[in-house]
Structure 1
Amino acid sequence: MPHKNDESQIVSAIQAMQSDPKLRLRVAARIYSVDHRKLGRRLEGVPSRRDIQANSRKLTTLEELVLVQYILDLAAKGFPPQLSVVEDMAN
């Protein structure tokens, strides 16, 4: 079995299975040295944990970028924002 999540091996196994319909999941997993359960999940369309946004994340990427830019603009003008102000903007 692989040391880490080797998504490139999983992608290769999926491509091999798509090009050869007779190739079974466990055989492909053994050939490409990936976990058969993980390969099965990828075939079902379940993304890797690395590609999923954390549930604990409060802001979207765009909201976070806008907030950071606003803070940097305030700091450039000589008005570093207080923590309470940033919290209010984030909420």
Structure 2
Amino acid sequence: MARKQKSSSAPTETRVQAAIRDYRSGKFKNIKDAATAHEITYGRLRNHLAGKGPKGEAHVDQQLLTPIEEKEIVKWILRLDDWGFPPRMKNVKDMATHFVRSHGVKNPTVGAN
């Protein structure tokens, strides 16, 4: 049996915001009913109501590259692939290092991840 594809987080985030709006307006008596009606987990809705954001945004401030810079590197790799060139790890690391240096870091250490 094939695995279920994970849906994009944007529709989930939209459902979370709708559930929060409905819960706060009094349409639902409790968090569980609002979560069930909007097809999200109780824990996710509870965490959002407590002020916690999505997991993907939790540690952005601790990363060397911004999400936009990461997306640019991915676009560059895909463009190389379209042209028939393999992306070399050294080149990817050099590009990431260049981005980090642009933030003012003198001797950045960019790891494999």
TM-score normalised by L of structure 1: 0.57
Contact 2:22/2:28, CA 8 A, preserved across alignment: no
Q: Are 1:7 and 2:41 an aligned pair?
A: no
Q: Are 1:89 and 2:89 an aligned pair?
A: no
The gaps in structure 1 that reach 5 residues or longer are 71-85
- The aligned runs of 1:9-88 (5 Å cut-off) are 9-20=15-26, 23-53=29-59, 57=63, 59=64, 61=66, 65=99, 67-68=101-102
Residues 38 and 69 of structure 1, relative CA distance in 2, 3 Å threshold? closer
Q: Which has the larger radius of gyration?
A: 1
Amino-acid identity (%) = 19
Runs of 4 or more consecutive aligned structure 1 residues displaced over 6 Å after TM superposition: none
Structure 1 vs Structure 2 CA RMSD: 3.3
TM-score normalised by L of structure 2: 0.48
Q: Which moved more, 1:4-13 or 1:46-55?
A: 46-55
